[in-house]
Every structure is written in C-alpha cells, then in structure tokens.
Amino acid sequence: MTERTIAVNYLARVEGEGALRVRIRDRTVEEVELRIFEPPRFFEAFLRGRHYTEAPDVTARICGICPVAYQMSACHALERALGIEVGGTLRELRRLLYCGEWIESHALHIYLLHAPDFLGYPDAIQLARDHPEAVQRGLALKKAGNAIMRMLGGREIHPINVRVGGFYRCPSRDEVADLRGEVVRALALAEETVRFVAGFEFPKVEEDYEFVALRHPEEYPLNEGRIESSTGVDIDPADFDGTFEEVQMPHSHALHSVHKGAGSYLVGPMARYALNHDRLSPRALRVAQEVGLEPVVRNPFRSVLVRAVEVVYACEEAVRIIDRYRPPERPWVEAPPIDHPTHGAAATEAPRGLLYHAYDVDPSGLLRTAHIVAPTAQNQKRIEDDLRHLVTRSLDLDTPALTFACERAIRNHDPCISCATHFLSVELVRE
C-alpha cells in the first residue's frame, strides 16, 4: 500500500489565502480539499444594523479585485427591496463601470496570473524579460479598464461614486468622451489578446459542467437577467435560495454552494459564454470564430480564451456606451420612504461569476439581515471535482509535476478567495 500527499500550503497567483490537500491511497484519490484559510471577516454579521445606503461601500471591501460587482449586486438587491427601478442612462453608466472592472480583472488574470502557467514562468515580471510586448499589452489593457473605473467611480479600487439609485455625480459628456481613444485602443489590444492566448498549448480535457449564469433577453449579462443553467434552471434571482444552497465544510472558511438535488456547478466566464455566446457583440463573435472557439467550452484550461473574448466584448460595449452618452437629468433615482419591513435579492455577473446579495431592511432603513453568495464559494466544490479528475488521470506524474498540475487546475478558475471567505495552500497525500 502506498500513500502520497500532494500539498500546496499557499497557492500563488490567486487572490487570497488558500491551500490544497490531495490524499492518494494506492491508485485511488481518497480526498481532495481546497482549503480556504483566508480568515473570516464576518461581513454578513456586521452589516446588520447598518443603514442600507452604506451597503455598497461596505460590501465593496469584501474584495479589492471586484468591488464594483459587490456595489452592483448590493444596489440592485436594495433597489428591489425599495421598489425603485434604475433605467436609461444610469443603467448604461452602470454597465460602463462594470465593463471597466471586467477589463481590469480579466487582464490581470490573463496576463499577470494565468499566462505564466502556459508559457513556463513563475510570474509576469519574468515573463516580461522574454516577452515584453505581451506583458506591456496586458498592462495597457488593464490600465484602460482602470481608467473607466477612475473616471466614473473616482478610483479603481473601492470606487466612491456608486449609490443605491445610481451615482453621486454623473460625468460630463467631455469626461466620458475623453476615455474614448484609450478604450478604442484597448479594443484592438483585446483582439490581439485573443489571438495571443489562442496560441497557448491547452491540455486536452473535457469536464461535464453544469453552467450557471445570468441570461438577459438582449444583452450579454452584466447587471440583470434570469438565472439559467445548462441543465434547465430558469429562475428569477430572488429564487436563488430555493434552487441553490450553501453547505459548510470543516476544512474551509468558505461556504460551498450546491445545486439542490444536483451537486456542484460552475459560474464565471465559461458559464456565461456557454449560455450567452449569442449575445456577444460583433467583434467579440468575429474574433472568437477566427480562433475557432467552440460555442460551449468544457476544457477549463481554455477558460483563458473565453476571458479574452469577454474583454473584447467589454471594450466594445464600453465604446458603444461612451458614444451614446448624454448626461442624465438626475444622477440618481430617489428612494421612497419605507413604511414596512422589506426584502430584496438580486444577482449580477462579477468577473468571476454570479454574485448574489439579499437583504432585509426595516422601516428605519437599517439592515436586519444580509446574505451574500460569492462566485468562488459557488465554484469551490466544482474546482475540487476538476482536481479529483485531474489527479485520477495523472497518477503517473511525480509529485512536483502533479502538484504543479493541481495549481494550474485551480488557477484556471481564477478563484478569488478573499471573496469566497471570504487562500490557497496544495497538499497531496499518496497512500
């Protein structure tokens, strides 16, 4: 009897603190644990008793990589609780801000965190010594995303201009128009990015995922839509809790999500693309076709291509919004006074996938409960499934090679552990 443990005690190039432990006895994978030891920060507890107007700024602090996603899900959930609708130009501006975050976050993952795995470098700094043009392109793209967030949100990390009902101040036409040149250049860089990553070598793997994402009648989903899945789920985001549930595992500070009665599922770029590729913009579709991207991608290593196509979409959508922009009459929609306890839930598409928020608000405007389900928490169980399959078919690899393969399999999903807890170390036990 032989036992082998694969252990990564601190996974690199992911956001947050996690570890992986895999135990193999003879030739059977006995245990796969993606351990999230990122310390818990208890957001849902201390949101109780805060005023609803504080939720977008407070929940943004769950994650420095995708604060806009938290602000958007919080606003939409609270607007549903308050019975207000934010449409027209304000809705367009929200999409623009979200495009900025998608561009920044995806460019960060593609170039700084993920590309080194495919090209054989420990990081983008080393990669830049041999491929300076690639890293410069990634940084320029990332910078364009940040420029959108800075113009509209005030700053890239934890923007200050988002409020329930809209914005504190809407930009002038000139402020928005000034961004156009940089975003148009970013669109070309994004197309080059798709061609660049299409040249990577992808291990041949197919996983049988249940994909879960928003779907909107007209748009590639960012802020709104129904929650749909590749196995037929089609629900209003308010019914999330009826269909999905969170279970707590002893090895992790993140709660695992499962589709009730069905098991693990996947959210994020691969899921969005599988369910919504028909909603992509013309240039995004054209470049996806050019590099031969299949309409449903089941190879997690090819997620980097999907992310790149989404960056093209986000740049194109941003240019569209910039070109049509006229400042609205009022920067926000005023909420009516509340006279009874109320509840609201909503989901938006964070760069890493579906982000669900639900709140109970009392008549004084204070939050009685808050419930937040982050994308990486939803994906955690599914990532463990990927790892189990990977290790089972790669038992002949020596431990260092197998450990590296496991780390790559985790990075395929761009996990954000800060979100999920709300950290990653890999331990592989061979028995």
Using CB under 8 A, pick the residue from 17, 191, 384, 385 that binds another protein: 17
Tally of CA atoms within 13 A in the half-sphere of 368 that contains its CB: 11
- Asked whether position 248 contacts another protein by CB under 8 A, the answer is yes
Q: Which residues contact 245 (CB under 8 A, 6 or more apart)?
A: 257, 258, 260
Q: Are strands 342-350 and 255-259 parallel, antiparallel or unpaired?
A: unpaired
User: Which stretch in 22-30, 159-167, 229-237, 290-298 sits in contact with another protein by CB under 8 A?
Assistant: 159-167
- Asked whether position 181 contacts another protein by CB under 8 A, the answer is no
User: Which stretch in 24-32, 194-202, 225-233, 250-258 sits in contact with another protein by CB under 8 A?
Assistant: 250-258
Task: List Cα–Cα distances, 429 to 7, 71, 388, 397, in angstroms.
Answer: 7, 41, 13, 14
**Distance in Å, CB of 261 to another protein, minimum:** 19
Write out the binding residues for another protein, residues 226-245 only, by CB under 8 A.
Answer: none
DSSP states of 337-355: PP-S-EEEEEEEEETTEEE
Which residue, among 226, 253, 231, 430, has the nearest Cα to 348 in the 3D structure?
Answer: 226
| Nearest to another protein of 168, 177 (CB atom) | 168
| Nearest to another protein of 29, 335 (CB atom) | 335
Write out the binding residues for another protein, residues 278-337 only, by CB under 8 A.
Answer: 331
Spatial distance between the Cα atoms of 212 and 260, rounded to a whole number of angstroms: 13
Write out the binding residues for another protein, residues 37-96 only, by CB under 8 A.
Answer: 37-46, 48, 50-51, 54, 57-58, 61-65, 67
Give how many residues touch another protein by CB under 8 A.
67
3-state class (DSSP) for residue 207: coil
Q: Which residues contact 347 (CB under 8 A, 6 or more apart)?
A: 73, 76, 214, 227, 237, 240, 354, 355, 356, 357
**Distance in Å, CB of 121 to another protein, minimum:** 9
Which residues of this protein are in contact with another protein, per CB under 8 A? 10-17, 37-46, 48, 50-51, 54, 57-58, 61-65, 67, 108, 112-113, 116, 122-126, 128, 132, 135-136, 139-140, 142-143, 146, 154-158, 160-161, 167-169, 248-250, 253, 255, 331, 407, 416, 418
